Structure 1
Amino acid sequence: MTDTRASALAVLRTLVGRSDADFHEGQFEAIETLVDQRRRALVVQRTGWGKSAVYFVATLLLRQRGAGPTILVSPLLALMRDQVAAAARAGVRAVSINSSNAHEWGEVLQALANDEVDVLLVSPERLNNPSFRDNQLPALISRVGLLVVDEAHCISDWGHDFRPDYRRLRDLIAEMPAGVPVLATTATANSRVVQDVAEQLDSAAHDSAAHASATHATKQPGTQTSGTEQPNTAVVTIRGPLARASLRLGVLRLPDAKARLAWLLTHLSELPGSGIIYTLTVSAAEDTARLLRDAGHAVRAYTGQTDTAEREQSEQMLKNNEVKALVATSALGMGFDKPDLGFVLHLGAPSSPVAYYQQVGRAGRATDNADVLLLPGPEDEAIWQYFATASMPNQVKAEAVIDALLANGDAPLSTPALEARVDLRRTPLELLLKVLDVDGAVRRVTGGWVATGTPWVYDRDRYERISAARVAEQRSMIDYEQTSGCRMEFLQRALDDETAVACGRCDNCAAPWYPAGLSAEAAAAAAQSLDRVGVQIEPRAQWPTGVASLGVNVRGNIPPAERLAPGRALARLTDLGWGGALRDLFSPPATGESAAPVGQSPTDAPASPAMLAACIRVLADWNWDERPAAIVTVPSRRHPLLIESVARTFSEAGRLPWLGALEHAGGGPTGTSGGNSAYRLSNVWDRFVVGSELAAALEAYAGRPILLVDDIADSRWTLTVTGRALRRGGASAVLPFTLAVRS
């Protein structure tokens, strides 16, 4: 046994608290690569293999040899919390700097200055925070002992969870002193992603024209690689088999959302232990959790919109088995550590087998058996398409952002100020800025963003290849659902694992292990839940920042006398119940559909009797302060028949006069759907008026509330502007109703 192995084994046994502990195959080889050879290593191993043990042991050995602290780049707050807790149990002094612990930053920085920290955890986004990047990072880089990139598949835009800020790590590695080892770890990477990550870890490839021919060596566990066999810049890849013997995989295809929810209600209590139920959208997670709670199941919703403190509490409750399940979006994913997680169930499929493997890998890490069941839905492909297109940079928008920054000279523009110059919503604008920042075209500085002046070229070929790869991955996910072969073997091959063999446990290898029956009571409860109606429309209270630059001379708060009252919609487009019917109603027209009047949807028609009855129920449940006295509609180019049917139904059922519609002015609204608030408001500003006939009719209802009917609420600026016109025309309140809200 070498001195390094003996020292490493002693540290490992201290970490795990067992005198007989030994390394898994490949673990010491990774440690040796980092500690003795000071090389760059990429470790691709299944969840639960012990990747954290590699970097904790390597950190302590390097610290014993006088090295500085380890910088661990970690993508999620939940993952950071787990890693800090695991480090503390192991005697490793780990701290984090993230958005949720700003009150601790002073203490953390002082501890770093005192050399009292072994591991500093940061997010990739933190690396580009101007204060951290300019004031703290240079000193850290000068004394860093080891750089660890966790969930390294995020580096690769070929990966399923690409994060632009991870690309910045190439520059960080290039700035580190010579001889600082680098470790990248992931459990979810196929050969294409492995190659991409390895090339980016190679600073020589990054800094020279040799990028295209950069090489990396694959080191099988148990073999030795000498420094003379390849240059020290080459990345050592240690890759093990990805099969998870504890997992029992299955796919159950049910006809609709009602059947899937009924299955959950019928069989959730039969699933082993506690687990995770994944959904594809926030509203699906919240609706499913509500249904299960109403039926007496101990579950909680967990999404990107959940409050941070509530998320932390939910994670702990799951770890303590105080809940049967968390109903979660992908916000609960990478690195969440509950070794005895008993099951993972999906209501709707992720967009690729690689993404699916990453999520199901949460289960069965320290148990002999765990159940993994996929319940795919017909809406899955539409959701995949939405997220795939939302993450791709748009050339026209990118060039508009760069032009706006260049026009502002050396003065930075904040993100809200940019919104008034470029028609992009906040989230896609922030994503695009990150991409442009990594590409070197813009730079984040104190106060906002500036253009660097570096020419930027839209890499169309690259994005088309990525888009094609994602489409292929979507087809592969459908193939997984439909395969008659071993499901674990399928997932392994999707990740290019050459050790793939049939598992003997999944529903295809053995037999379906899950019941398929649905109780009548559960089916009725699911149907009732899906038939739930009514979503609140919150009124706008402030005009958007910077809208004056677009010719709309308003700012600050909307005067209370001109605001809408809280409104109602039948459902969200993303809802499990009425959302499906509404998505069909508002989907873009198919190619070749029959002609319709200019601007009108070729599928425009009165709402169905069932939908109209559901709308009546929304009104019946609406606890307004004062009943509306009359109905006014928003003029619609695309759905005039649809809106008219709703208005007439409300008029007849509620004995409310329908006074007619407002009128378009100046040709009506301009622009297209989507975009940010400033542009959306400017598109509808002064484009609606109360015509003479409507004004005359409204005189009889002055000082009384008006029900305002439209088809869909997205930005809410159409409702805000038309409601303002009605308030100015004498209405005491305007109560908006729409069939749908966008999300």
Structure 2
Amino acid sequence: MTSPADRPLPDSPTTAHPASLRARADELLGALAGPGARLREDQWTAIEALVADRRRALVVQRTGWGKSAVYFIAARLLRELGSGPTVIVSPLLALMRNQVEAAARAGVRAATINSANMTEWDEVRASVRAGEVDVLLVSPERLNNPDFRDTVLPALAADAGLVVVDEAHCVSDWGHDFRPDYRRIRTLLADLPEGVPVLATTATANDRVVRDVAQQLGVGVSGLARQAPAADDSGASDTIVLRGGLDRESLRLSVVEIDDSETRAAWLVENLDSLPGSGIVYCLTVAAAEDMAELLTSAGHRVSAYTGRTDSGEREELERALLDNEVKALVATSALGMGFDKPDLGFVVHLGAPPSPISYYQQIGRAGRAADRAEVVLLPGPEDRAIWNHFASLAFPPEDVVRRVLDALEPDRPQSTQALEPAVDLGRTRLEMVLKVLDVDGAVQRVRGGWVSTGRPWHYDAERYAGLAEARQAEQQAMIAYERTDSCRMEFLRAQLDDPTLDPASTGCGRCDNCTGERRTSDVDSGALTRAREALERPGVVLPPRRQWPTGLAKLDVPLKGKIADGPAEGRALARLTDLGLGQKLRALLAEPDQDAPEWLTRACVPVLREWGWSERPTGVVALVSGEQPQLVASLAGALARMGRMEPLGELTRDPALPPVTAQNSAYRVAQLWGTFSGPATAPDGPVLLVTDVLGTGWTVTEAARHLRESGASAVLPLAVAAAG
């Protein structure tokens, strides 16, 4: 890769005449969007600022406005003027694939470096060095991969002609625990030579997010509406902010209120075919998406599930199937979100509400980009808040926990995330997030072999983290207000995103259900409801056993390591608490005061036991009563023993004088559980059915099984009322 001194100097703004630049830009747009296409004035303003004036720009415009056209055309123009390649930081593989295809239409040679094409990295790097790549797309995670950060990033920063931060709202603090790697972009920008333009783009940002993005990227903002060029407070950058209206004239917003999850599912079965074209059905959890896809398929609809569990190769196939209208819908989680580009997408349905109007607007923005009309339907449920609260509980942990992470690290001895787990009570995913945030803040660094301390002082910004929690709560309340409002729904969303073009005197969009008075019926055919219930209440979830003890247990004075030789066999749960049908019924039961197991719960266990397929039938039943529903578990165990003519062996309990098990981290949880069980009343002899209420991490039943195996059980088969995930 050439250095700035070796490459040809780009034309100055005086030699790159604006008129000729505009004509060439329109020509490139024609190649990108079709003959006759012409740039919007705001698009040209951004391109001119980047190419002719080499400035920084923040573009906040609705989905479908043409933000990608701005950076692809600017990238091509800068290359033609002698600048180096454009670096685009892009969040999702789906987005990268669409961007590469769009770039090719504009004659822009694009390549990617991401987790899905590791075998091509050397080839891509060679192409960049040879000047054969105009645009390099990288994921934010690549920016702190040690090899990439130390060997590739400095050369990119030195030679870049333009840096683009796409979906820049991910930089904002409201999403620090979603994509902390995005905040590393500050380092990339700090290393850029003077005069390298920077473009940040997003469609989903209110005033607070705009301010935070500007601060994180060093893009100064002196006002928040669409504005002329403005210097930031420090005078360090000359910035243009282009912020447009967020009205989407093609979208028809509506809400259908149905409290029962099975009735909502049946409503979708009945109404999916009436929705125009093909579209997306969003669900809040993986389990709900998979259940809904299975139900719709069984009813004859052409749908597929698309979730975080879908591998990258299958995701690409599913995206193509939707683009080519080979399916009526993808039933998806937020894994299908930013960047999926199907201009004629006919509808977006949400089975459960996202936790904020910002998230909701971003997801419904996939629809109707090149259509006169697209349907947007929200089917909220009472379980939505529990799901929101679960994700909110994964936010940044208290200071004393973070300090323990810092204390466990050394400057010269790298430690993996796995090796750090015994040092601090955090689950692996949350520990990884904390380490990334500390890395961004400069307190730790990721190197080959793991993480090290930098020795730099670090401040726990309690005020900021409390503000994030308050902002989340406010956004959740705003989403509930959206569901209940009787005013214009589109204007509600625009107000939540601080749309600078929203007219306070407006009487509404004239398109949503509240403006038109045209409301979708919530009625469902009884036959469809029965079929949905039968499908969704079909019990039985496989529970794979834990195979390995957590590493580092010796540090916690627990003499366990390696493979688990005396743990439980494969178990079963009636349903997941996040399942649409039986899961919601079990969630309601477990939320009630402890009670004897109702008859319907016992009956639901019968097909699960009948179809289990165990190699040796259990001869005894033990009630694991260490959870929050001891009476429920004990009575269910007794009923199953009588029904299956198995010996009731009694209860397995923890010492009531011990504190409850609260650890999140696997090693700490095992340490809290180890050696604390006593019972049952009768020593087991043969295989044992172990009945419990909710199975979460699996460590409680693992330690319980170890105790029962030591007491004489030849095998332990866990049966949970529900699985947490």
Quick check: TM above 0.5?
Answer: yes
C-alpha separation between the residues in 2 aligned to 1:557 and 1:162? 33
Most deviating of 542-551 and 113-122 = 542-551
Structure 1 range deviating more: 376-385 or 726-735: 726-735
Distance 1:334 1:123 in 2: 13
Q: Give the alignment partner of residue 445 of structure 1, picking from 424, 447, 459.
A: 447
User: What CA distance in whole angstroms lies between the structure 2 residues aligned with 1:731 and 1:270?
Assistant: 56
Structure 2 CA distance for aligned equivalents of residues 732 and 551 of structure 1: 28
Q: Secondary structure at the match of 2:722?
A: strand
Partner of residue 10, structure 2 = none
Trace 1:562-641 onto structure 2 (pairs within 5 A).
Answer: 562-587=566-591, 603-636=593-626, 638-641=628-631
Q: Distance in 2 between matches of 1:714 and 1:292?
A: 28
The alpha carbon displacement at 1:613 in A equals: 1.9
The equivalent residue for 2:154 is: 138
2:569–2:716 CA contact under 8 A, matched in 1: yes
**Alignment partner of 1:511 out of 517, 527, 533:** 517
Task: Give matches, 1:520-535, under 5 Å.
Answer: 520-535=526-541
Give the distance between the partners of 1:38 and 1:634, measured in 2 at CA.
67
Q: CA deviation at 1:721?
A: 2.0
Mean alpha-carbon deviation: is it higher for 329-338 or for 78-87? 78-87
Structural RMSD (CA): 2.2
| Shift of residue 546, structure 1, vs aligned partner | 1.8
> In 2, Cα distance between the equivalents of 1:159 and 1:228?
24
1:225, CA displacement in angstroms? 4.8
Q: Which amino acid aligns with 2:55?
A: R
Q: Does 1:25 align with 2:41?
A: yes
1:319 aligned partner: 323
1:426: how far off? Answer: 1.1
Q: Out of 104, 113, 127, which is 2:129 matched to? A: 113
The whole-number CA distance in structure 2 between the counterparts of 1:226 and 1:529 is 59
Q: Any conservation in 1 of the 2:634–2:651 contact (CA below 8 Å)?
A: no
Distance 1:466 1:404 in 2: 27
1:481 corresponds to 2:483? yes
For normalisation by structure 1, the TM-score amounts to 0.91
The answer on whether the counterparts of 1:159 and 1:189 sit within 8 Å (CA) in structure 2 is: no
Q: What is the letter of the counterpart of residue 437 of structure 1?
A: D
| Distance (whole Å) between structure 2 residues aligned to residue 27 and residue 421 of structure 1 | 52
TM-score of the superposition, structure 2-length normalised?
0.93
Kept in 2: contact 1:69–1:118 (CA 8 A): yes
Alpha-carbon distance between aligned partners in 2 of 1:575 and 1:129, rounded to the nearest angstrom: 37
Distance (Å, rounded) in 1 between the aligned partners of 2:142 and 2:320: 25
Tell me if the contact between 2:652 and 2:677 (Cα under 8 Å) persists in the aligned partners: yes
Query: Could you say which residue in structure 1 is the equivalent of 2:311?
Result: 307
1:216 and 1:235 in contact (8 A); partners too: no
Equivalence for 2:714: 732
Please give the secondary structure, in 1, of the residue aligned with 2:189: helix
SS in 2 for 1:323: coil
Query: Is the contact made by 1:417 and 1:546 (CA closer than 8 Å) also made in structure 2?
Result: yes
Q: 1:436 aligns with which of 431, 435, 438?
A: 438
Residue type at the aligned position of 1:655? R
Match of residue 206 from structure 1:
none
Aligned match of 1:687 = 676
Q: 40, 48, 67: which is aligned to 1:51?
A: 67
Provide closer, same or farther for how the CA distance between residues 230 and 61 of structure 1 changes in structure 2, counting only shifts above 3 A.
Answer: farther
* AA at the equivalent of 2:473: V
Which residue is 1:9 aligned to? 26
Residues in 2 aligned to 1:284 and 1:258: alpha-carbon distance in whole angstroms: 11
- Aligned equivalents of 1:577, 1:385: Cα separation in 2: 20
For the residue of structure 2 that corresponds to 1:413, the secondary structure is coil
Distance in 1 separating the partners of 2:628 and 2:514: 48
1:232 CA displacement: 6.8
Unpaired segments ≥5 residues, structure 2 = 1-17
2:397 aligned with 1:393: yes
Paired letter, 1:721: E
Query: How far 1:396 sits from its partner (Å)?
Result: 2.4
Pick aligned residue for 1:294 from 277, 291, 298: 298
Find the counterpart in structure 2 of residue 103 from structure 1: 119
**Quick one: which amino acid aligns to residue 132 of structure 2?**
E
8 A contact 2:568–2:706 mirrored in 1: yes
| Aligned-partner SS, 2:194 | coil
2:338 counterpart residue number: 334
Q: 1: CA distance between counterparts of 2:174 and 2:258?
A: 32
Percent of aligned pairs with the same amino acid: 56
Q: 1:255 aligns with which of 256, 259, 266?
A: 259
The AA in structure 1 aligned to 2:697 is S
* Alignment partners' CA distance in 1, 2:487 and 2:589: 38
5 Å-filtered alignment, 1:658-669, equals 658-662=648-652, 664=654
- Kept after mapping to 2: 8 A contact 1:543/1:555: yes
Q: 74-83 or 725-734, which moves further after superposition?
A: 725-734
Cα–Cα, structure 1 residues 563 and 393, in superposed 2: closer, same or farther, change >3 Å?
A: closer
1:411-422 alignment to 2 at 5 Å?
Answer: 411-422=413-424
Q: 1:385 & 1:86 partners in 2: Cα distance?
A: 38
- State the shift of 1:199 in Å: 2.5
* Count of residues in Structure 1 that have an aligned counterpart in Structure 2: 704
**1:527–1:635 CA distance, 2 compared to 1 (3 A):** closer
Secondary structure, counterpart of 1:508 in structure 2:
helix
Structure 1: 5+ residue runs without aligned partners?
A: 204-213, 590-602
Could you tell me how far apart the structure 2 residues matched to 1:229 and 1:368 are? 43
